[in-house]
Amino acid sequence: MASASPSLPSTLRMLSSTLQRPPKISSPLLSLSLPSKTPALSLRFTQIFSGVSGLHPTKKHLGLRALASATDMASEKRVFDSGEDLAVSLAKYTADLSDHFAKNRGAFTVVLSGGSLIKCLRKLVEPPYVDSIDWSKWHVFWVDERVVPKDHVDSNYKLAYDGFLSQVPILPGHVYAINDALSAEGAAEDYETCLKHLVNTKVVDVSATSRFPKFDLMLLGMGPDGHVASLFPGHPLLNESQKWVTYIKDSPKPPPERITFTFPVINSSAYIALVAPGASKADAVYTALGGGSSQNSETLPVQRVAPEWALTWFLDKDAASKL
């Protein structure tokens, strides 16, 4: 079943195979129960789930705790008793979005992080999802990657390949790993060039508001310090407003050299799942969701995460223990 391989060609060679198979773009995204897009009257809501639940914010959810908000992004928090329950819910959430975007857009663009996220995706490689998802529509990207060879133990590609990609029939030409023969600067530039081609060919959608690429689903992990992707607290890269992909050579989390999507790209996504289980995340979760403040009162990177349509937190009891 494995179709991706650590010896995949460079990003651009993978791109060329993708370009031969442009997805069909059909109708706009109208069939989901999306949050209101009326800025003046938009809603933010929070609901605690103890198990598997529906995919999208719906009127039923909104009836529970709806608050007026300045943003039209819907925000939802799911707290699970166990990692197993979290993984089940995340698989259903992802599979439902896959189904929707595959049917309505002809492609499903999914952005992965490194870290514990990949383990949280484990239910996708099991029945019923492994057989029911239309994997041929998936296009896989990384929100950040360590500048190391693809077969290196620190590679986010290798982590995802070993734990997820090798077990599902995603087309190798739809897996956009970084070009590991390049420097950090070169790899970031190469990845941005790749994304531009994919936007031009409509594989990746574009935000009508920001004009940055609009990925269908971004699956983000979060560090104990509140970092997302390779955007760390207090780092100047947090304020990058032009580039789509940039690089860092002084990452406080090893290894130091990485490439990363910028906030304009992250926040142009349609959906973001913030997957942050574990006690080490409790302080940052409290800062982001419980009204706490960070050690030096600075805004944490995770607090800047605001996709165009919906943000869903996937937490376990330990991560939510201070809420």
Ligand X SMILES: O=C(O)[C@H](O)[C@@H](O)[C@H](O)[C@H](O)COP(=O)(O)O
Q: Which residues bind ligand X (CB under 6 A)?
A: 113-117, 144, 146, 156, 221-223, 227-229, 253
Give the separation between CA 245 and CA 259, rounded to whole angstroms: 7
Closer residue to ligand X (CB): 69 or 116? 116
Closer residue to ligand X (CB): 144 or 240? 144
Give the separation between CA 197 and CA 208, rounded to whole angstroms: 17
Closer residue to ligand X (CB): 114 or 233? 114
Closer residue to ligand X (CB): 115 or 307? 115
Closest approach of Cβ 177 to ligand X, in Å?
13
Q: Which residues contact 208 (CB under 8 A, 6 or more apart)?
A: none
Closest approach of Cβ 84 to ligand X, in Å?
17
Which of 100, 96, 261, 112 has its CA nearest to residue 174? 112
Closest approach of Cβ 49 to ligand X, in Å?
20
Closest approach of Cβ 156 to ligand X, in Å?
5
Q: What angle do CA 103, 107, 111 make, to 5 degrees?
A: 125
Which of 170, 96, 82 has its CA nearest to residue 129? 96
Closer residue to ligand X (CB): 72 or 145? 145
Closest approach of Cβ 102 to ligand X, in Å?
25
Where in the chain does DSSP place strands (E)?
Answer: 43-45, 66-68, 74-80, 108-112, 138-142, 144-146, 205-206, 213-214, 217-220, 245-248, 258-261, 271-275, 310-316
